[in-house]
């Protein structure tokens, strides 16, 4: 745990309240649409961490360069990159790398017995890939091997202030032991005075949410192919006693070849006899049992997969809310717990039946990941591709 402590802030002697770690931030933050006058109005709690971080780093970029181009990625401004102790100018790592991440024949990253021996000087850091509640991810090249990786950078002070250091420790322990073709690999981690760096498999620049924004909706055949890959990875995890707890389109990476990888294990937990009560995840994907503050198990991933399937086919989640005021959150909670599941008329009956098996209010009635491949709707498309 010492590796994750910030020297600039004493460790809190209080125990963090794990009652509510749900992300209420709008699912896509457009820098150009941020109201500079409203930055201070963003709530200070962990639920809005991503929005608050986005506002903060955008402001850093603006203050450092009055000529900052609003169309460029503020996370790649020299001022922001300095905060992460990475090279100030974006390195063109893909052009120089002999092993491009999308080349399926590339060798695996060599394993290092002393993983803590890595330092930031061992990596040439390219462009920003994305930002989450606590981490910022950059494309990077491990200089000795030439391997492209995704470098997830977390600031120690932010982790301590949000009291989520135990979650990071668990994320490293869990993801470091998972080995499945549809799960991003964690190769190791290292740290310096201010930051913790996770060295992850680079699976491409896009995710299913970005693709959905482009294409608006996916066909049933395309959706089945995606569901099969995700379900296979989840089944593997569940058999090991691991559940993800934050399955959503943004956390499903997609390569140019169309292969999927589950990412971001920040809320994942290992619990063979699950009795979890932590209220965590993303608002649109919350299962009823979490909202009712009941214990939950791996079936929360089944619910999330049902939401994801619905969103791919329809273009929006079934219980979506655009507002995050307290009264609107209560309405959203009630819809998730009480509202019937409704479908547009162009969604086939078989697809509706499949999603309904996952979106059962009673978690004990939800379809298991191991049963998905034998579902009639899935089989009807899967057999066509065999």
Annotated binding site for ATP: 133, 152, 201-203, 250-251, 264
21 contact partners, CB below 8 Å, separation of at least 6: 46, 47, 164, 267, 278, 279, 280, 281
Strands 252-254, 242-243: pairing kind:
unpaired
Verify whether residue 246 is a known catalytic residue: yes
CA–CA gap between residue 366 and residue 379 (Å, rounded): 18
Choose, from 246, 284, 301, 375, the residue flagged as catalytic: 246
182 contact partners, CB below 8 Å, separation of at least 6: 229, 230, 232, 233, 259, 260, 261, 262
Do 195 and 40 meet the contact criterion of CB atoms below 8 Å apart? no
Binding residues: 133, 152, 201-203, 250-251, 264
Do 255 and 226 meet the contact criterion of CB atoms below 8 Å apart? no
125-164 burial by CB neighbour count: b if 16+ within 10 A, else e? bbbbbbbbbbbbbbbbbbeebebbbbbbbbbbebbbbbbb
343-374 burial by CB neighbour count: b if 16+ within 10 A, else e? beeeeeebbbebbebbbbbebeebbebeebee
Q: Catalogue the active-site residues.
A: 246
């Amino acid at each position: 745990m010492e590796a994750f402590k910030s020297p600039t802030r004493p460790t809190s002697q209080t125990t963090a309240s794990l009652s509510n770690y749900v992300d209420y931030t709008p699912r896509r933050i457009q820098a150009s649409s941020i109201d500079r006058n409203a930055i201070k109005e963003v709530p200070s709690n962990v639920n809005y961490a991503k929005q608050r971080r986005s506002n903060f780093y955008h402001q850093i970029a603006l203050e450092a360069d009055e000529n900052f181009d609003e169309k460029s990625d503020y996370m790649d401004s020299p001022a922001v990159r300095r905060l992460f102790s990475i090279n100030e100018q974006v390195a063109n790592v893909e052009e120089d790398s002999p092993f491009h991440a999308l080349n399926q024949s590339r060798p695996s990253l060599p394993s290092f017995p002393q993983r803590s021996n890595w330092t930031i000087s061992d990596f040439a850091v390219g462009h920003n890939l994305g930002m989450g509640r606590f981490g910022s991810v950059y494309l990077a090249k491990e200089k000795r091997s030439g391997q492209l990786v995704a470098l997830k950078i977390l600031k120690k002070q932010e982790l301590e202030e949000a009291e989520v250091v135990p979650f990071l420790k668990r994320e490293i322990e869990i993801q470091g032991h998972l080995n499945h073709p549809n799960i991003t690999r964690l190769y190791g981690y290292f740290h310096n005075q201010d930051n913790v760096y996770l060295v992850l498999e680079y699976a491409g620049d896009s995710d299913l949410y970005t693709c959905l924004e482009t294409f608006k909706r996916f066909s049933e055949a395309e959706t089945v192919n995606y569901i099969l890959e995700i379900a296979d990875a989840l089944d593997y995890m569940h058999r090991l006693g691991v559940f993800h707890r934050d399955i959503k389109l943004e956390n499903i990476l997609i390569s140019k070849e169309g292969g999927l990888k589950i990412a971001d294990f920040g809320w994942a937990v290992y619990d063979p006899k699950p009795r979890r009560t932590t209220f965590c995840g993303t608002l649109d994907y919350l299962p009823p049992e979490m909202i009712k503050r009941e214990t939950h198990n791996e079936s929360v991933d089944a619910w999330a997969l049902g939401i994801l399937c619905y969103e791919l086919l329809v273009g929006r989640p079934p219980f979506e809310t655009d507002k995050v005021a307290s009264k609107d959150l209560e309405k959203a909670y009630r819809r998730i717990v009480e509202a019937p599941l409704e479908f547009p008329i162009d969604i086939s009956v078989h697809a509706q039946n499949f999603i309904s098996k996952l979106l059962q209010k009673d978690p004990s009635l939800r379809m298991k990941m191991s049963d998905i491949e034998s579902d009639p709707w899935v089989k009807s498309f899967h057999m066509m591709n065999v």
